[in-house]
A and B are shown apart, each in its own frame.
Chain A
Amino acid sequence: MAGSGCDLFEFGHRACGGCGAALAARLILDAAGKDTIVCSSTGCMEVFSTPYPETAWKVPWIHSLFENNSAVASGVEASLKKQGRKEKVIALGGDGATFDIGVLCISGAFERGHDITYICYDNEAYMNTGIQRSGATPYDASTTTSPAGKCSLGNKRQKKDLPAILAAHGAPYVATASIAYPADVKKKIQKALETKGPCYVQIHAPCCTGWGFEGEKTMAIGKLAVETGLWVNYEMEEGKVTRAKKVVRKPVEEYLKEQKRFRHLFKPKRNDEEIGKIQAIADRNAERYGIDLKIKKD
């Protein structure tokens, strides 16, 4: 029987209190169990969990570089296959490693069809190096390289749609999840690991330090992202969306106003136009994935 996440991802790591990524790591290992090899990118996860001579990982774990975990995982998988071993292989990276610098390696690994599960813990910026913009940073978020200022409203672009890009590679299973829904995360990780071929799971992992909220609010913030429609938990099988979590949507400002990275949209005065644009992103998400819960009226 697989150990619990607490068993396999050891307490005593050095993540911030309330770290969404650390919670993701526990959920991942809880779902995967001990017969798993983790290939990890450079990033917060590596730094807070493996300061030599200590390690928080009770499964075999390897870090090489920022951008190559999926290529390393390809080699691990090939090596296990040759030796007739059956461990599951996970490539684990943050959004910078996944959306940006690592795309070439991920594309190669997915196109070749390795039996690996790529998991991205998405905290929507380069958090380890000081909260810089990545391809996963949402529209209007203020980061240290997309700061809000007199002539700037923060990040000018929407998040890159990486799940769709990887689904287009022929990935049999692609899913998004949020640490605010732990059972759903575990279910999707298990499904990805059980599915033959390259699978992708992207886990929304709020970052209290980078986004600017108190550590005890991580779960609440994660939940608000889903409830506003700015983050959608869905599954794609063989390239088609098969399931998406339905919600009774809340206005996006309930999510935005809780975080310092969107503070410029409310101070010195409320920016209705920009909040409207973000609401439109949520509305498009709702339409695309069909998440609006219809409440039956008698």
Chain B
Amino acid sequence: MMEIMEGSHAVAHAVKQCRPQVIAAYPITPQTHIVEALADMVADCHLDAEYVTVESEFSALSACLGASAAGSRVYSATTSQGLALMFEVCYNVAGMRLPIVMTIVNRSLGAPLSIWNDQQDSISLRDSGWLQYYAQDNQEATDLHYIAYKVAEDHDILLPAFVCLDGFILSHTYEPVEMLTQEQVDSFLPAFSPYQRLDADDPISFGMYATPEYYMEFRYEIDRAMQRSKKAFSAAGKEFADLFGRDYSAPVEGYRLDDADTALVAMGSICGTAKDAIDEMRSSGRKVGLLNVRTFRPFPGPEIAKALSGVSRVAVLDKNISLGAKGAMGIEVKDALYGSGIPVLDYIIALGGRDVRKKDIAAVVDMAEKNQGDLFYGLRKEVL
């Protein structure tokens, strides 16, 4: 049923339909509306879950880790400094192969303090072993939660997943969202069946320590599971499309790329603005297209190389910066296109919530056509 909903509430509703058994979360702007909505559902008996009101994000993910290891489907949400506080636990959750799903409402990191959107937070955890899915709009933000649980809990995968949506731009915006019924969700996402759990009848040890003789193989296994998750994501996306008509099976999504000279590459809500800007540029005869990256981990390198094989240049829009290097996606897209001879230009854009308009997208395309790139876009003149 189509409803006009705030992004956060649409996400909370989807999470409720996934039937998490334990939720542990700590409020932080702009994630708060999600965990408040879930708390309301538990308080009103609409959601039968244990809701643990922890004292920090660090404890939130620690409690999720324990709850997942004990055999429950688990959910949390966070952003920015909260995710930074979870850093240590994030690595353990992935290393212990616990299929926790966590919404990241993307927000910049301090200092200076900023509550507004960029994607520095989740990007900074790119090496932690969590699957990372990015939503373009609230419909996708909602639907990706069902898919994330399905992929994460697959016994051939067993990895935790971030579902990322841009703070405020998506989380606090009312958009029409087509919600599934509980019966539909149940038909897609079966009840959680843990591969192994803490159980007195069959005792096992989780999280032991490994000497140099063993450690490396554990990392290899996680990497293999990451690679396998590509197929699982595709399959889950295809099944979702067959059942409900919305198709997320591709890790990258092209827009007017077939005959494009300049291809933009981006993640998240900026793609919507980019598509409108591309339509305008196309009407004045400029051959511009977009590649939306939906799964940043595992990184869809071969799919990106294939999708961009025919373009003359690539302009990456990075809402993050690996300080001292470039934007994270710029670096990885360049790696994916290595040997193709296609130039990849990187643009650090919209950090700390700075607005992106259609004219900004057009300006990036202008610069890319003049081979100007690898820069912060739209800086105040006094620092230049």
Contacts and interface: CB of A to CB of B under 8 A. Distances in A.
A57 B376 CA distance: 54
Given A60-B198, A60-B204, A62-B207, A52 B58 contact: no
Report which residue of B22, B70, B206 has the largest number of chain A beta carbons within 10 angstroms of its beta carbon.
Answer: B70
A75 B199 contact: no
Interface of B: 21-22, 24, 49-50, 52-56, 58-59, 62-72, 74, 88-89, 92, 96, 198-200, 203-211, 214
Interface residues of A, number: 43
A39 B49 CA distance: 22
13 contacts: A37-B198, A37-B200, A50-B208, A51-B209, A51-B210, A55-B208, A62-B66, A62-B207, A63-B206, A74-B52, A75-B66, A77-B66, A79-B69
Contact of B200 (A36, A63, A73, A81): A36
B22 A108 contact: no
Given A82-B21, A105-B58, A112-B52, A76 B203 contact: no
Contact of B89 (A58, A68, A79): A68
A47 B209 contact: yes
B92 A64 contact: yes
Given A68-B58, A75-B67, A83-B21, 6 more contacts: A39-B66, A46-B209, A52-B210, A62-B69, A62-B206, A79-B22
Contacts of B206: 61-63
B55 A111 contact: yes
A293 interface: no
Interface in A23-71: 34-37, 39, 46-47, 50-53, 55, 57-65, 68, 71
A216 interface: no
B54 A51 contact: no
Interface of A: 34-37, 39, 46-47, 50-53, 55, 57-65, 68, 71-83, 87, 104-105, 107-109, 111-112
B69 A78 contact: no
A86 to B, nearest CB: 9
Contacts of B205: 50, 55, 57, 60-63
Contacts of A34: 200, 203
Contacts of B70: 37, 75-76, 79-80, 83
